[in-house]
């Protein structure tokens, strides 16, 4: 009887081990499928975000807004010009840049030239060309940025009935 019991237990042990291996294999397959599903879900989400951004950009263009990518490209271009003229910037120029004051910055840059009595340029201080180029790009960037801000204000006004009514009364 004992031998039968031992054989029975050994058989049960073998079956349990086989079941355990099957379960481990199933768990591994499930983990692999879960990993694939995660990757696929991430891909779908990324694709949906890209499509949504594409549609938002199209809507923004129709509303007169400059696409964020174009604005960011212009900002990055401006950063390059800023780095080129950074050694020549005075504190007053930095303040004008921080205040987004293109005219004030331009006035400071124009002081770096001296003119002859006949109106021709007598001399230009070092860095004048870099600062002048930055001034032009700075103005272009702020114009793009401010255009978006003004358009967004108009859109907010249309969404806010109280503000919209006040604007009507003025007219």
When pLDDT is cut at 50, 70 and 90, the band that residue 76 belongs to is very high
Q: pLDDT per residue over 135-162, tens digit each? A: 999 999 988 888 776 666 666 666 665 6
Mean pLDDT of the 99-128 span: 86
Give the pLDDT of residue 158: 60
pLDDT band of 78, cuts 50, 70, 90: very high
Q: How far is CA 141 from the centre of its chain?
A: 16
pLDDT at 155 (0 to 100)? 61
Q: How far apart are the first and last CA of the chain?
A: 107
């Amino acid at each position: 009887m004992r031998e039968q019991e031992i054989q029975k237990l050994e058989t049960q042990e073998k079956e349990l081990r086989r079941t355990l291996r099957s379960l481990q294999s199933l768990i591994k397959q499930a983990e692999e499928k879960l990993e694939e599903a995660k990757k696929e879900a991430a891909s779908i989400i990324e694709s949906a975000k890209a499509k949504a951004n594409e549609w938002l950009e199209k809507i923004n263009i129709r509303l007169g807004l400059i696409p964020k990518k174009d604005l960011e490209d212009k900002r990055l271009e401006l950063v390059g010009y800023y780095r080129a003229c950074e050694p020549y910037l005075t504190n007053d120029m930095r303040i004008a840049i921080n205040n987004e004051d293109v005219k004030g910055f331009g006035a400071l840059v124009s002081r770096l030239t001296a003119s002859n009595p006949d109106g021709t340029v007598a001399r230009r201080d070092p860095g004048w060309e870099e600062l002048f180029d930055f001034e032009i790009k700075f103005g272009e960037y702020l114009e793009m940025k401010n255009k978006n801000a003004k358009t967004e204000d108009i859109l907010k006004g249309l969404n806010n009935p109280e503000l919209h009514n006040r604007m009507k009364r003025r007219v």
